[in-house]
Structure 1
Amino acid sequence: MTETVTAPQGGLHRLGIAAFGAVLALGAITLAHAALPRPEAEAVVAPVPPTAPERVVLVAFQSPLPGHAINSPFGLRQMPWEDAGRLHAGVDIAAPFGEPVLAAADGIVTRAGALPGYGRMVEITHAEGLVTRYAHLGAVTAGLKRGQRIRAGHPIGEVGSSGVSSGPHLHFEIRDRQDRPLNPLYFLGRRFAEVEDLPVQAAAKVSPRVRMAQVSTIPESKRSLMVAKGLIEAGD
């Protein structure tokens, strides 16, 4: 025979009360935990990429007359008073009288004055023996002198028509350390970081084509040649 054990009624009642109390206590703990202030979420900081080192520039060239176009390029050119073509060793940039002429690159002034044919001119020597010349100036900037260190964009003179010139313009040259004329178009608007980057060999090449120059004004020093050739009348 299987005996059935029956718990006293009072014990069951006490067990029920205890279980109910445990449930209430657990709920109170949960509510208290929910009421506690939560720590703010930590800000996520994006990693900062390392800054690339600034590229070192050996020399950089800018236009000596910003906003004005080249109207006579580098190469063989024959003027109306000449019997044959000869090298036009730079480029001509037409601009009005008095327009500021700027240093094309950082360098040191090696000449500031007058030179036969060039008229009033400035010469600046740059890195690796490169030289820029600014000719036919109407005036050289006051105080500019040989040995002065100068920055690109600094005014060095004004557009004029001094020397053998057919009108107001800037004759601009770039030469290497051997005094070879170089085509400025290979340099203007460009930056060079290494000596090997300099396009000296390409810029020294001269096309065999001779360009016939057209001039609006004949320099007084060439007028007699034009009369002798029968190209103009005496007194014109």
Structure 2
Amino acid sequence: MAPPLPPAAGLDGPRRTTRASAPPPPVLHLPPHRPAELSRVPAAVERIVEVRRGDTLLSLLRRVGLAREDARAAVDALRPVFSPRELQSGQEMRLTFRPGPSGTLQLGAVRFDSGPDQEITLTRDEAGRFSAAAIDKRLTLSRARATGAIEANLFQAGMRSGVPFPVLRQLIQLFSYDVDLQRDLQPGNRFEVVYEQFEDEAGRPVKSGDVLFAALDLGDRSLAFYAFTTAEGQRDFYTRSGESIRKALLRTPIDGAEITSGFGMREHPILGFTRMHKGIDFGAPAGTPIYAAGDGTVVALGRRGGYGNYVRIRHNARYATAYAHASRFAKGLAVGSRVRQGQIVAYVGTTGRSTGPHLHYEVLVDGRQVDPQSVKLVGRRLQGPELKRFLAAVAEIDRLRAGPQDRVLVAERPAR
């Protein structure tokens, strides 16, 4: 069977967060247009209003006819469940108007989406008080499968096949353990991915979840990785035989970057003479995230001569990695910080002795720089009962992959 899904919490009803405001004046002033129609309104009238560029919650509510005091009371009621700063141009607000005490229409309710898995409601009681609630939508969890041929790179191939960006990012990180995504990929290579997908009541995909399976056919070799959660609750990816793909060090500590200079003797682009290049350079736009190649402790952080902004991480008694020319460091990172493999530690820049934005990456063994591409470290291997459970999960995923449908319904639960 597939990796266990999180418990279906919250099936007894949607979660609400509410707060009531002080009573404003009970009657709203209506816009002056079409008074004859407003005198013959039904029990409720609904309108959809689109947020304009430059709108605030207050100005939008004023625009649909609320008195200033009422609009302020409504915004105050919304604050605990929705930040007014999160209002976005193009967002739709569904407004319900009801007849007031004097026969004029007054705002009775406002509903709008704050994200793919949450709806905000603002309601007004008979005393004129507003209250707001954040309601988790009930989304359906399915499994989606996508395949595609690579022409230029994995990212473009995935986008062409409709793979969501968060899933693509997971794929790139998964394959970076074993593949140089710039040099190993060739036109005609193929990828496959099975991932969680959340759909709304109309069956529309609204957000993606975890990758369950990933495969890459490189022509001369193939990779296939299966997600599995151990008895200790540790989720990881394994080969079909049960060997973890999580090596001690990532092969590529940056997404989608091109190797611009390898390890070894070269003519220095600034100094002009030949010298040993003790790492690998990855060309990438300024600001691109740099990931820790493995679990470890930050032992150096700061300005370091020609390296510019520099981070060194000690992974164990023998191995360390270094990252140079960064524009800045990850927020909160300091000497002594513990980091996890894949955690952002810095961002690409061109500080120090550098001709342009890039990452200079080093692997050190016993304090001496070695070619990062020559380091071969294997992951853990599942054994005993855990291996048996894993092989059952592999069989379940393989049945799904062999099926005729690209999407298979597996469960229904509130969104995470």
Paired amino acid for 2:319: L
Matching of residues 126-205 of structure 1 within 5 Å = 126-177=315-366, 179-187=367-375, 191-192=377-378
Equivalent of 1:109, from 280, 298, 302?
298
Whole-angstrom CA distance in 2 between matches of 1:55 and 1:153 = 15
Which string of whole-angstrom CA distances, capped at 9 and with x for unpartnered residues, describes residues 195-227 of structure 1? Answer: xxxxxxxxxxxxxxxxxxxxxxxxxxxxxxxxx
Aligned length: 140
Does the C-alpha gap of structure 1 residues 191 and 123 become closer, same or farther in structure 2, counting only changes over 3 Å?
A: same
Which string of whole-angstrom CA distances, capped at 9 and with x for unpartnered residues, describes residues 121-180 of structure 1? Answer: 110001232111100000011210111111110000110000000000000001111x21
Does the C-alpha gap of structure 1 residues 55 and 137 become closer, same or farther in structure 2, counting only changes over 3 Å?
A: closer
Name 1:122's counterpart in structure 2. 311
Whole-angstrom CA distance in 2 between matches of 1:175 and 1:126 = 10
Name 1:92's counterpart in structure 2. 281
Whether the 8 Å CA contact 2:269–2:355 is kept in 1: the answer is: no
Whether the 8 Å CA contact 2:265–2:277 is kept in 1: the answer is: yes
Partner SS state of residue 117, structure 1: helix
The structure carrying a bigger helix percent of its residues is 1
Does the C-alpha gap of structure 1 residues 175 and 53 become closer, same or farther in structure 2, counting only changes over 3 Å?
A: same
Partner SS state of residue 373, structure 2: helix
Whether the 8 Å CA contact 2:280–2:362 is kept in 1: the answer is: yes
Partner SS state of residue 135, structure 1: strand
Does the C-alpha gap of structure 1 residues 192 and 103 become closer, same or farther in structure 2, counting only changes over 3 Å?
A: same
Whole-angstrom CA distance in 2 between matches of 1:53 and 1:94 = 34
Query: How many Å apart are 1:78 and its aligned residue?
Result: 1.2
Does the C-alpha gap of structure 1 residues 141 and 83 become closer, same or farther in structure 2, counting only changes over 3 Å?
A: closer
Query: How many Å apart are 1:62 and its aligned residue?
Result: 3.8
Equivalent of 1:74, from 245, 263, 287?
263
Which string of whole-angstrom CA distances, capped at 9 and with x for unpartnered residues, describes residues 38-84 of structure 1? Answer: xxxxxxxxxxxxxx987697723241112212110000011255463
Whether the 8 Å CA contact 1:61–1:191 is kept in 2: the answer is: no
Which string of whole-angstrom CA distances, capped at 9 and with x for unpartnered residues, describes residues 6-25 of structure 1? Answer: xxxxxxxxxxxxxxxxxxxx
Whether the 8 Å CA contact 2:270–2:355 is kept in 1: the answer is: no
The structure carrying a bigger strand percent of its residues is 2
Does the C-alpha gap of structure 1 residues 56 and 94 become closer, same or farther in structure 2, counting only changes over 3 Å?
A: closer
Whole-angstrom CA distance in 1 between matches of 2:299 and 2:311 = 8
Query: How many Å apart are 1:103 and its aligned residue?
Result: 0.5
Paired amino acid for 1:172: Y
Whole-angstrom CA distance in 2 between matches of 1:55 and 1:98 = 31
> Kindly, what percent of the aligned residue pairs are identical?
36
Whether the 8 Å CA contact 1:98–1:138 is kept in 2: the answer is: yes
Whether the 8 Å CA contact 1:57–1:191 is kept in 2: the answer is: no
Query: How many Å apart are 1:105 and its aligned residue?
Result: 0.8
Name 1:65's counterpart in structure 2. 254
Where in structure 1 are there 5+ consecutive unaligned residues?
Answer: 1-51, 195-236
- Structure 1 stretch displaced more, 107-116 or 123-132: 123-132
Whole-angstrom CA distance in 2 between matches of 1:67 and 1:164 = 23
Whole-angstrom CA distance in 1 between matches of 2:352 and 2:265 = 20
Does the C-alpha gap of structure 1 residues 162 and 56 become closer, same or farther in structure 2, counting only changes over 3 Å?
A: closer
Paired amino acid for 1:158: Y
Query: How many Å apart are 1:98 and its aligned residue?
Result: 0.5
Query: How many Å apart are 1:111 and its aligned residue?
Result: 0.8
Does the C-alpha gap of structure 1 residues 146 and 71 become closer, same or farther in structure 2, counting only changes over 3 Å?
A: same
Does the C-alpha gap of structure 1 residues 55 and 94 become closer, same or farther in structure 2, counting only changes over 3 Å?
A: closer
Whole-angstrom CA distance in 2 between matches of 1:82 and 1:169 = 17
RMSD between superposed Cα atoms in Å = 2.3
Does the C-alpha gap of structure 1 residues 57 and 160 become closer, same or farther in structure 2, counting only changes over 3 Å?
A: closer
Name 2:209's counterpart in structure 1. none
Whole-angstrom CA distance in 1 between matches of 2:315 and 2:249 = 10
Whole-angstrom CA distance in 2 between matches of 1:153 and 1:143 = 16
Whether the 8 Å CA contact 2:251–2:373 is kept in 1: the answer is: no
Query: How many Å apart are 1:101 and its aligned residue?
Result: 0.6
Whether the 8 Å CA contact 1:102–1:156 is kept in 2: the answer is: yes
